[in-house]
Amino acid sequence: MLTDARKLIQQASHIAVLTGAGISAESGIPTFRGPGGLWRNFRPEDLATPEAFARDPILVWEWYQWRRGIIAHAEPHAGHFALVALESRKGRTGFTLITQNVDGLHDRAGSSAPLKLHGDIWTLRCTCCAHSWVDLRPDFNPFPPACPECQSLARPGVVWFGESLPQDTWRLAEQAVTFAELILVIGTSSVVFPAAGLIPLARHVGTKVIEVNPEETPISDSVDFHFRAPAGELLPLLLE
């Protein structure tokens, strides 16, 4: 199975990769729907919404500050670096990394231009003017953070449930999966849309799919290879 998959990877001239929270699990960052994903007994779907932020911006900011603190102490692992090695082998035109993650670990591992479908936890946006900026502080002072331009309340630069994805990023991701001969789907439960819709879209145009996930997911029985293993262990074997 590993040999066949490695051959597919070697032969493909265009590869798209879709990652989810699972690729950061071995870096110590809780996934959304796995153990440790809860915070003060809130589900991410309860907090990652414009309604929750409008109702209680302090609570939502406390959740993001808690996550930023964990991510700030997390390091990319061998799986992140194996994707960087694949990218350098395939070159910029032969490789596209698409991620649902907002933690920035792909950037820190050296991935050159990940398509961030759901934004970036280190970017803040103003709730009033159009200003957006990067703020790497794990603890905000004053809390909650304010816009440096107009002093209005800032919000995390991420896409919440019910919000649409950045159009240009989404279009690039759709193009990448329809143009690729092979898509690697790593560490996602494939239940959040429209990101999860990229996989049936790829299959519809005959793209081969390799899934890396210790659990079964809704796409597992329709992929070409499903490696039921952690990304940090499997990706170096598959990609290097």
Nearer to ligand BV8, 118 or 208 (CB): 118
Q: What are phi and psi of 36, to 5 degrees?
A: 85, -5
If one asks whether residue 148 binds Zn ion (CB under 5 A), the answer comes out as no
Residue count of the chain, please give it. 240
Within positions 126 to 165, which residues make up the interface with ligand BV8, using CB under 6 A?
Answer: 158-164
Token output for 22:
């699972």
With beta carbons less than 8 A apart as the criterion, state whether 233 and 239 touch.
no
63 binds, among ligand BV8, Zn ion, none (CB under 5 to 8 A by kind): none
Nearest to ligand BV8 of 60, 149 (CB atom): 60
Q: Which of 14, 33, 108, 131 binds Zn ion (CB under 5 A)?
A: 131
Name 102's Cβ contacts closer than 8 Å, sequence gap at least 6: 116, 118, 119, 120, 121, 156, 158
Residue 183 near which of ligand BV8, Zn ion, none (CB within 5-8 Å, type-dependent): none
Nearest to 163 by CA among 54, 73, 81, 34: 54
Closest CA to 68 of 6, 172, 143: 143
Which positions from 99 through 118 interact with ligand BV8, judged by CB under 6 A?
100-102, 118
Q: What's the order of all strands across the beta sheet hosting 208-212?
A: 115-116, 95-99, 15-19, 182-186, 208-212, 225-227
Residue 113 or residue 129: which is nearer to Zn ion going by CB?
129
- Tell me whether residue 36 or residue 148 sits nearer to ligand BV8 (CB atom): 36
Does residue 73 carry a catalytic annotation? Answer: no
Residues of span 178-237 touching ligand BV8 by CB under 6 A: 187-189, 191-193, 212-215, 217, 230-231
Tokens 């070409």 belong to 224
Interface with ligand BV8 (CB under 6 A): 20-23, 25-26, 31-34, 37, 45, 48, 100-102, 118, 158-164, 187-189, 191-193, 212-215, 217, 230-231
Catalytic residues: 118
